[in-house]
C-alpha cells in the first residue's frame, strides 16, 4: 500500500462527519435546559501538578466517571453523553490542556496530561471510572497504566493506534510537517493539513473555513501535536503499557468502522488481548463518531456492574 493510501485510511479515524460534528459541538455551549437541576453541568476548575488550571463540568449523582475527549474536542463535545450518564454517575467532562477553559503550561509532556487527569480524579474523591475516546482513549490507557488504583474501571473506544502497512511512515511524515507549521505559528495551515490528511476534499475544506467551527479548530491547532505525542512515535499498539493496566477494562470499536478503517478492529483486538482480563465489545452500526445514545447504555452496564 502506498503511503498516501495508508494515510487516508489511517486518518479517517475521526470520520469526517464526526470530526466536523465534534468541532461544531465544541464551538457552541451545550443546552442543559431540559435536564433536571441535579443533572445540569456546573463549570469548575482544578489545578494540575505543574500549576495548570484545568476546566471541567460536573453533572449528575453517583460514582465518579471522567470523560476524556479526542482531537480537536472541548468538554462541550461530551455534553450529550454526560447528560445520558448523569442519572447513574457524577460525570466529569474536562478541557484537556490547551483547549477551552484550561491552561497550557509549557513545555508539553504526555506525563503532564496524565497529571491533569490525576488532579481531576483526586478532586472527584481519589478514584474514578474513566472513559476515553480516540486519542482520549490512548491517554486514558496510559493514565490507567501508571495511576493504577486511582482508575477503578476503564473503558476505551477506538484508540487510534495502527500497525497497517505504511502506517508508521505516513504518520512520521505528517508529524514532521505539522510540527513545522505549528512552530511557524501557521495554525490554520496545520488544521488544514490534518483535515486533508484525513481525506477531506479541497472544496469541502474551503466550506469548512467559512463555518463558525473553523475559528475554534484553529485555536486548538497546537493540541494536535499533543495528540500526536500521546499516540507515540510510530502509532504502534503499546502492548507493554497495556499489560500494566490493573483496572477492569472494556475495549470497544464500532461495527461501521470495519470497512473504511479496518485497523480499528485490529487495534481493539490487540489491546483486548494485552490488557489483563479485558472485555471486548463491538458496538454494531457505529463508526468513530459513536452515538451517545448507543454508547451510554454500554457504559452504564459496564461501570455499573460490581
Task: Say what the pTM is.
Answer: 0.89
Distance, in Å, from the CA atom of 278 to the CA atom of 251, rounded to the nearest integer, reads 7
Task: Report the mean per-residue pLDDT for the chain.
Answer: 89
* CA dihedral (194, 195, 196, 198) positive or negative: positive
Cβ atoms < 10 Å from Cβ of 201: 11
**Rounded-to-10 torsion of CA 300, 258, 231, 153:** 20
User: What is the grid cell recorded at 247?
Assistant: 483496572
Mean pLDDT of 14-43: 49
Q: Which residue has the higher pLDDT, 90 or 39?
A: 90
What pLDDT was estimated at residue 31?
A: 41
Mean pLDDT of 95-124: 97
260-270: pLDDT as tens digits: 889 999 999 99
Mean pLDDT of 166-187: 96
133 bridge partner residues: 157
What pLDDT was estimated at residue 230?
A: 97
Which residues, in sequence order, are CB contacts of 243 under 8 Å at separation 6+? 274, 275, 276
User: Do 15 and 287 touch, CB atoms closer than 8 A?
Assistant: yes
What pLDDT was estimated at residue 200?
A: 74
pLDDT at residue 81 greater than cutoff 50: yes
Counting every residue written for the chain, the total comes to: 306
User: What is the grid cell recorded at 153?
Assistant: 474501571
Q: Please give the CATH superfamily to which domain 12-27+42-164+223-304 belongs.
A: Alpha/Beta hydrolase fold, catalytic domain (3.40.50.1820)
What pLDDT was estimated at residue 95?
A: 98
pLDDT at residue 190 greater than cutoff 90: yes
Mean pLDDT of 159-173: 94
User: What is the grid cell recorded at 13?
Assistant: 479515524
User: What is the grid cell recorded at 188?
Assistant: 490554520
User: Do 266 and 167 touch, CB atoms closer than 8 A?
Assistant: no
pLDDT at residue 76 greater than cutoff 70: yes
For residue 298, the SS3 value is helix
Which residues, in sequence order, are CB contacts of 10 under 8 Å at separation 6+? 160, 162, 164, 167, 170, 171, 235, 261, 263
Mean pLDDT of 181-207: 90
User: What is the grid cell recorded at 146?
Assistant: 501508571
Mean pLDDT of 251-258: 97
What pLDDT was estimated at residue 98?
A: 97
For residue 226, the SS3 value is helix
> Phi, psi at residue 190, to the nearest 5°?
-65, -45
pLDDT at residue 6 greater than cutoff 50: no
Of 41, 95, 80, nearest to 299 (Cα)? 80
pLDDT at residue 27 greater than cutoff 50: no
What pLDDT was estimated at residue 195?
A: 82
User: Do 231 and 134 touch, CB atoms closer than 8 A?
Assistant: no
pLDDT at residue 289 greater than cutoff 80: yes
pLDDT at residue 82 greater than cutoff 90: yes
199-251: pLDDT as tens digits: 678 999 999 999 998 999 999 999 999 999 999 999 999 999 999 999 999 99
Amino acid at each position: 500500500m502506498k503511503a498516501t493510501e495508508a494515510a487516508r485510511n489511517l486518518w479517517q479515524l475521526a470520520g469526517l462527519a464526526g470530526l466536523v460534528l465534534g468541532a461544531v459541538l465544541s464551538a457552541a455551549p451545550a443546552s442543559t435546559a431540559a435536564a433536571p437541576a441535579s443533572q445540569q453541568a456546573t463549570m469548575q476548575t482544578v489545578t494540575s501538578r505543574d500549576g495548570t488550571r484545568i476546566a471541567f463540568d460536573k453533572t449528575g449523582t453517583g460514582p465518579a466517571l471522567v470523560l476524556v475527549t479526542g482531537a480537536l474536542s472541548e468538554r462541550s463535545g461530551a455534553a450529550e453523553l454526560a447528560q445520558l450518564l448523569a442519572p447513574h454517575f457524577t460525570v466529569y467532562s474536562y478541557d484537556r490542556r490547551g483547549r477551552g477553559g484550561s491552561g497550557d503550561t509549557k513545555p508539553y509532556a504526555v506525563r503532564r496530561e496524565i497529571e491533569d487527569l490525576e488532579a481531576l480524579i483526586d478532586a472527584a474523591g481519589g478514584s474514578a471510572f474513566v472513559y476515553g475516546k480516540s486519542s482520549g482513549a490512548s491517554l486514558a490507557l496510559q493514565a490507567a497504566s501508571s495511576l493504577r488504583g486511582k482508575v477503578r474501571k476503564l473503558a476505551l473506544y477506538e484508540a487510534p493506534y495502527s500497525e497497517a502497512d505504511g502506517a508508521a511512515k505516513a504518520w512520521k511524515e505528517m508529524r514532521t510537517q505539522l510540527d513545522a507549521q505549528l512552530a511557524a505559528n501557521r495554525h490554520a495551515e496545520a488544521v488544514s493539513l490534518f483535515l486533508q490528511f484525513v481525506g477531506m476534499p479541497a472544496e469541502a475544506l474551503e466550506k469548512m473555513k467559512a463555518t463558525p467551527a473553523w475559528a475554534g479548530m484553529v485555536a486548538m491547532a497546537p493540541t494536535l501535536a499533543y495528540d500526536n505525542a500521546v499516540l507515540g512515535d510510530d502509532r504502534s499498539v503499546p502492548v507493554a503499557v497495556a499489560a500494566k493496566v490493573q483496572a477492569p477494562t472494556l475495549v470497544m470499536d464500532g461495527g461501521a468502522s470495519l470497512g473504511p478503517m479496518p485497523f480499528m478492529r485490529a487495534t481493539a483486538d490487540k489491546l483486548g488481548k494485552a490488557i489483563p482480563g479485558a472485555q471486548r465489545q463491538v458496538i454494531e452500526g457505529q463508526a468513530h463518531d459513536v452515538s451517545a445514545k448507543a454508547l451510554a447504555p454500554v457504559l452504564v452496564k459496564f461501570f455499573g456492574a460490581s
